[in-house]
Every structure is written in structure tokens, then in C-alpha cells.
Amino acid sequence: MCHHAPHRHPILCILPPQILRELARNGTAAERDIALATLATDQTARMTRVTCELQESGAHHALMPAGPARKQRTVYDGGAREALPGRVVRNEGDKATRDAAVNEAYDGLGATWNFYFTAYQRNSIDDRGVRLDATVHYGKRYDNAFWNGQQMIFGDGDGKYFNRFTAALDVIGHELTHGVTGSEARLAYLGQPGALNESISDIFGSLIKQFTLDQTADRADWLIGVGLFSSRVKANGGRAAALRSLKSPGTGYNDPVLGKDPQPAHMADFVHTSRDNGGVHINSGIPNRAFYLAAMAIGGKAWERAGRIWYETIRDRQLKPTAQFADFALRTAMAAGRLYGSASDERTAVLAAWRQVGVTVPSLQAEPHVPASVATVGAAD
Amino acid sequence: MRIQLETDGGFALIPGLSRPLTVDTKELRPVDAAELSRLVEDAGFFARPTSGGEAPAGAADVRRFTLSVVAGARRHTVSFSDPVTDPHLAALRDFVRTHARGG
């Protein structure tokens, strides 16, 4: 947010800087003091304006000094009420408590901070060192976790179908990544941009788990929310149920009571609905699988190259809040080209991944930063 | 009197948990029917605006609740989002969850 400059002298503030400098040199003692103070403030005001313009352009990340890079975590106990934030139960550096939900939230916040800082040199979710807050034990038998734009909130689950929502590290990473998206791409939480917003949270939630476990892409389970469902909830093949699968969208759970995971894996099965903000948690399966395919084709640790490409895409100021899947796909291809070269295996993998899920990458010919030869690949289907 | 609760949004769309829940006073014990009538009265439900609160800007995975009440010729609907800070709306939502068939 841009702040207004502090108070300046009401007359001197309208004078051009050269007049102020003359007054500072040749005016009376009182005039000199006021002129010097106004010049100094004016510099601050100019810097503030410059900062605002840079923030609009996205260049502030490169030019503005970041705050000190250190974790600042606070976990609150909601006491089964729906009031926020609740009572402070663990601050940064405090010893573990006897409450598993508190410790899971604290550790999950820490793992997420470590991931973004180590993998992408990002200083907390806003890249400015913002503190990380979470409330656990929110509401009674509350079976949800959400991001309210400022902090994370976790329920204890209903005890019937859901366990406590701090149980899965990727869910904690998912919620905090909404904060990252909110400070970068600001994708609208509706329809395709909303599904991209959700997909980004699932992808980085999974990467945070893979990073913490030091897993390569081929060793990861690519599941979101293992451990959240109670043991009574069923999945195909007798394996543990999960909320979603990036590898095989639509196979997270298949239960007589809860029904079947409704996620599509391909644009041919895109779900048109007014529910769920236009299916943000449903159609996210499509970009989720595109990332999985790209990460598997690129190989190695998924956060290092595939994750870097997606991370640079959400920081791309040309990515609009209303971006559709194809717009996002184009930006991932461009990011891959910038990072690894237009003829790189990484870029080829990204384009192939989107093609496999039925998302046609628009022609790249109009984009000045990517060689025209790429358009042939992008237009292949 | 009949009251229906629809829940939308949240961290995932779970088909089996997304069905509307309905409670009809005709199917309740008299003591529960009286409690529901009192909760609707205490909430001033029929005089409320149709939107009882939107999710904060930048929020994600929040739930949206829609309560609809039909009482004789009167009918009204109120929608509200997490975090639910209004105790009257929270009480009505929780009553339906507790007393709805299959809920």
C-alpha cells in the first residue's frame, strides 16, 4: 500500500525544487529550515511515488530492500469459537506445546517459510517478511481450513469424516500459498482464474511436502490432504483417501457417503457449474495435472525447475487477474523460455504437458521475448 | 416452518456433503420445533438483508452458507460467509446441521 507523504509546509510544498534550493541557500534562517525540511520530505514523497509505480510494474521485488529474512510465526487457539484470531498459544521460538494441532500448525508454517526462502529466495508469503499467523481449534466440529486474506484458519474436523485440518502439511502449504498468489498474480477467485488460483495452491502445497521430505518427482505421491479424511472414507484400490490428486485428478476419494472426487483431468471434461465459485476446486484438476506432467518430464526435484517455472509465472506482471488456462499456459511457456532457453527440454516439457490436458497454448508470435519458432510448437494442436 | 441450509465453497467440493439440508418443524419433537421457532425469531430472520456478510477480500477456501426459511406465507433467504461472527446465524446453521435428516 502506498502511504501519503508526511506533512509539509502548505506554501513551500507547491514551490518547485529549484526555488526551495534557492531559499535553502539564500533565505532567512527560518526559511532555510523549512525549505530544507520540505526538500527532504519531497524526496521521500518522490520515493514513495516511485515505489508505488514500481509495485504496479512488479519491479519492486528486484529493487526494494526486503525486510530481515526470518520467520515470525504465531499460532492462536480459537477455543472452538468462530472469532479470530483467538488466544496466542505459541510464538516464534517457543517450545512445543502438548497440543498436536498447535505444533502441526507451527511446524507447517515453518516448513512453508523454509521452502519459499530456500527454493526461491522469497522472504515469507509477501516477499517482504510478513508474519505468519494461524488459528487452530476454530469453531465446533468445523471441517474446513481457509485463508481469510490475512491468516490461516483450521478446524478440528467433524470427527466423523474429517480429522483435524493441520494434519496434512500440503494443506498448510496450500493455504499459505493463497497468500503468495494474493500478493503476486491476484487471480480472481472465480471460474478459470479461480481454478488457477486453487491449482497454484495445490501445486506449491505438494512441492512444500516434497521439499520437506526431499523427494524427487517420481517418488512423490502427488496427493493433497492425505490424513485429513477419517479411516472410514474410501478411495479406489484400498489406498488412503485424499482430497485431490495432481497425478490422477478425480481419484482422491470414492466413497458411498461422500461420493466421488469430481475433478477432471482434461479440458474435454471441464465442469461448467455455478457452485464452488464456478468450480474452482473442480477444474483445478486440469492445470494440476499439467504441472505434474511437466514436472515428471523434466525430472529431478520438482520445485527446482518445474516449480521455478510456475513460480516465475505467478510473479509475471503480464499475467492478468482474469487469466484463463490458455493465458497461464502461455506464460509458463514464456517463463520456461526465459529461464532455460526457447529450445530447452524444460520448455518443450511445459508445452507438451498443457497439450496433454487439452489446453492449447496461444500463438507466441506476438510475444517479443520468445523466438517465433516456438509458435510452431504451441500451435501444434 | 421449514428451514433449508445450503453450503457452498470450502477447501474442496465434496458431493456427499454439498447436498442441501432441510428441517421441517412437522417432523421435529415439539421441544425442538419450539427451539427452531425461537431461533428464527431471535435472529429477526425475516427482517434481515439477503446478504449477511461477504468473504474478506483475498480470501480463499471460505464457505458460503445460505439459509432459507418458509413459515406460512412468509419466506426469506439469507446468505453469509466464513468467518461467521453473527451468533444468531451460527445458531440457525448449527441447528439445521444437528437436526436435518441424514445431516
Instruction: Give the minimum alpha-carbon distance from B31 to chain A in angstroms, rounded to a whole number.
Output: 23
In a domain, A184, yes or no: no
- At residue A381, the pLDDT reads 31
A281 with B12: Cβ contact below 8 A:
yes
Contact state of B13 with A197 under an 8 Å Cβ cutoff: no
Phi, psi of B24 (to 5 degrees): -120, 130
The 3-state DSSP class for residue A309 equals: helix
CATH number of A142's domain: 3.10.170.10
Rg, C-alpha atoms of chain B? 14
The DSSP letter of residue A78 is -
Q: Does A268 touch chain B (CB under 8 A)?
A: no
Q: Provide the residue range defining the domain that includes A54.
A: 12-63
Taking CB atoms and an 8 Å cutoff, what residues of chain B touch A146?
10-11, 59-63, 82
**Is A349 inside a domain boundary?**
yes
- Under 8 Å CB-to-CB from A41, ≥6 apart: which residues? A5, A6, A7, A8
Contact A149 B59 (CB under 8 A): yes
User: Which residues of B are less than 8 Å from A147 in CB distance?
Assistant: 58-61
Strand (E) or helix (H) holding A20: helix A17-26
State whether A226 and A365 are in the same domain: yes
What is the SS3 assignment for A261?
coil
User: Cα torsion at A136, A139, A140, A144 (round to 10°)?
Assistant: -70
Alpha carbon A168 to its chain's center: 17
Q: A340 with A334: CB under 8 angstroms?
A: no
Q: What is the pLDDT of residues B57-97, one digit of tens each?
A: 889 999 999 999 999 999 999 999 998 989 999 999 999 99
Enumerate the residues of chain A whose CB falls inside 8 A of the CB of residue B63: 144, 146
| B16 to A258: CB separation less than 8 angstroms, yes or no | yes
Cell of A1: 500500500
Which of A298, A111, A299 lies closest to A219, judged by CA? A299
Cell of A178: 493463497
Distance of CA B73 to the CA centre of its chain: 19
Same domain, A363 and A287: yes
Residues A205 and A269 in one domain: yes
Is the same domain home to A231 and A92? no
What does A89-127 look like in DSSP terms, one character per residue? EEETTPPP-S-HHHHHHHHHHHHHHHHHHHHH---STTS
CB A176 within 8 A of CB A152: yes
Which pLDDT belongs to residue A238?
Answer: 80
Same domain, A241 and A196: yes
Residues near A170 by beta carbon (within 8 Å), at least 6 away in sequence: A202, A205, A206, A208, A209, A223, A224, A225, A226
Residue A246 in any domain: the answer is yes
Length of chain B: 103
CB contact under 8 A, B56 and A243: no
| A·B CB contacts under 8 A | 90
Q: How far is B3 from chain A (nearest CA, A)?
A: 20
Q: Is residue A174 part of a domain?
A: no
**ipTM metric:** 0.91
- Partners of residue A182 in chain B, C-beta under 8 Å: 58, 60
pLDDT tens for each residue of B12-56: 999 998 899 999 999 999 999 999 999 999 999 999 999 877 888
In this structure, the answer to whether residues A374 and A295 fall within a common structural domain is yes
Mutate to test the interface with A, among B13, B18, B54 (most CBs of A within 10 A): B13
Spatial distance between the Cα atoms of A365 and A374, rounded to a whole number of angstroms = 8
- Boundary residue ending a domain (A151, A167, A183): A167
* Residues A170, A157 contacting (CB under 8 angstroms): no
Distance from CA of B61 to the nearest CA of A (A): 5
For residues A219 and A346, state if they share a domain.
yes
> Is A171 strand, coil or helix?
helix
Residue A253 contacts residue A239 (beta carbons within 8 Å): no
Residues 6+ apart with CB under 8 A from A33: none
Collapsed DSSP state (helix, strand, coil) of residue A223:
strand
Closest in A148, A277, A279 to B83, CB measured: A148
Predicted pLDDT of residue A363: 76
User: How far apart are the CA of A299 and the nearest CA of chain B, in angstroms?
Assistant: 29
CA distance B18 to chain A (A): 9
Grid cell, residue A176, equals 499459505
Residue type, A221: D
Q: Hey, which residues 42-81 in chain A have their CB within 8 Å of chain B?
A: none
Q: Based on the domain organization, do A243 and A363 belong to the same domain?
A: yes
State the pLDDT at residue B52.
78
Distance CA A304, CA A326 (A): 23
Residues in B whose CB is inside 8 Å of some CB of A read 8-18, 55-63, 82-85, 90, 94
Residues A240 and A163 occupy one common structural domain: no
- Pair (A38, A85) in one structural domain: no
Cβ neighbors of A22 (< 8 A, separation 6 or more) are none
Pair A342, A374: CB distance under 8 Å = yes
What percent helix, strand, coil does chain A show, rounded to 5? Answer: 45, 10, 45
Cβ contact B94–A281 (<8 Å): no
Report the 10 Å Cβ neighbour count for A85. Answer: 18
User: Sheet harboring A87-91: ordered strands across?
Assistant: A87-91, A73-77, A132-136, A152-154, A145-147
A52 in the same domain as A81: no
> Which of A195, A144, A132 is closest to A325 using CA atoms?
A195
**Mean pLDDT of each 10-residue bin along chain A, 381 residues long:** 37 46 58 53 38 41 58 97 95 98 98 98 95 96 93 94 96 96 94 98 98 98 95 87 97 95 98 96 98 98 98 96 97 97 97 97 60 37 31
- From chain B, pick out residues whose CB is under 8 angstroms from the CB of A143: 17
Count up the domains in chain A and report the number: 3
Question: What nine digits make up the cell of B85?
Answer: 461472527
